[in-house]
Structure 1
Amino acid sequence: MAAAESSPLTTHVLNTNDGVPGAKMALSLHRLDTKMMIWTMLSVGTTNEDGRCPGLISREAFIPGMYKLRFETASYWEGLGQTSFYPYVEVVFNISDPGKKFHLPLLMSRFSYSTYRGS
């Protein structure tokens, strides 16, 4: 993974079911190859104790295009001894100005989730 300081894309997972950070959740970042129309995995990571996953991508690798963050929610809930309705969550988004900073939080419970573009 890229250095945390230079990552123009950050994420934060919040377990709204229990009111705590979504720690130790596996996730991956992908970019769509528009010629082949397939997703290319760029990085993988795990959220820290604060529910954050620093260093997703370097500023140099962050180019215009369509991206997705895939959060492995079933594994997270199973690790807590619980089940969930969604086995994973994929958040797909477009980047037209990679010079900006993008923050994509995931707020989730066992039966719902939401996301937004933060700063």
Structure 2
Amino acid sequence: MTSPSAQTSLSTHVLDAARGKPAADLQVVLSRMNEPVAAAHTDSDGRISWAVALDPGDYLLHFATGAWFASTDREAFYPTVELHVTIGAGHTHVALLLSPFAYTTYRGS
């Protein structure tokens, strides 16, 4: 039998909805039970495929949106976006659509 962590994976995709482009080089920290698991920056397509062993459970994705918007010379209302997600066995994809004064998220495929 395969362990749950071998079957569990997570990816993230962040899009700049105001500009209609990927949110490249946005810092994201993945945590579980208040302990950092991994940190990464989105690639040029706004994506992160978390290359860490994960067990099913509750996680926090912390997006440094304020610093990212500042790096593009734009004002932003949300200095961070934190998404609490529950992932199960298999693959979970978390999408985040950003604009300077709003955001939305959904579980993708």
Instruction: Tell me if both proteins adopt one fold, taking TM over 0.5 as the criterion.
Output: yes
Say which SS state the counterpart of residue 107 (structure 2) adopts: coil
User: Number of matched residues?
Assistant: 103
Corresponding residue of 2:35? 40
8 Å Cα contact 1:7/1:57 also seen in 2: no
- Of 55, 66, 78, which residue of structure 2 is paired with 1:74? 66
Deviations 1:44-90 (A, max 9, x none): 00011100112x243xx311221011100011100110110000000
Deviations 1:19-56 (A, max 9, x none): 11000100100011xxxxxx1100000011100112x2
8 Å Cα contact 1:22/1:51 also seen in 2: yes
Corresponding residue of 1:115? 105
Structure 1 pair 91–43 and aligned structure 2 pair: CA distance change class (3 A): same
Corresponding residue of 2:75? 83
Percent of residue pairs bearing the same amino acid type: 37
8 Å Cα contact 1:21/1:51 also seen in 2: yes
Corresponding residue of 1:101? 91
Say which SS state the counterpart of residue 75 (structure 1) adopts: helix
Gaps of 5+ in 1: 1-5, 33-38
Say which SS state the counterpart of residue 117 (structure 1) adopts: strand
Corresponding residue of 2:21? 20
Gaps of 5+ in 2: 1-6
Runs of 4+ deviating beyond 4 Å: none
What is the RMSD of the two structures over their aligned residues, measured on CA atoms?
Answer: 1.5
More strand by share: 2
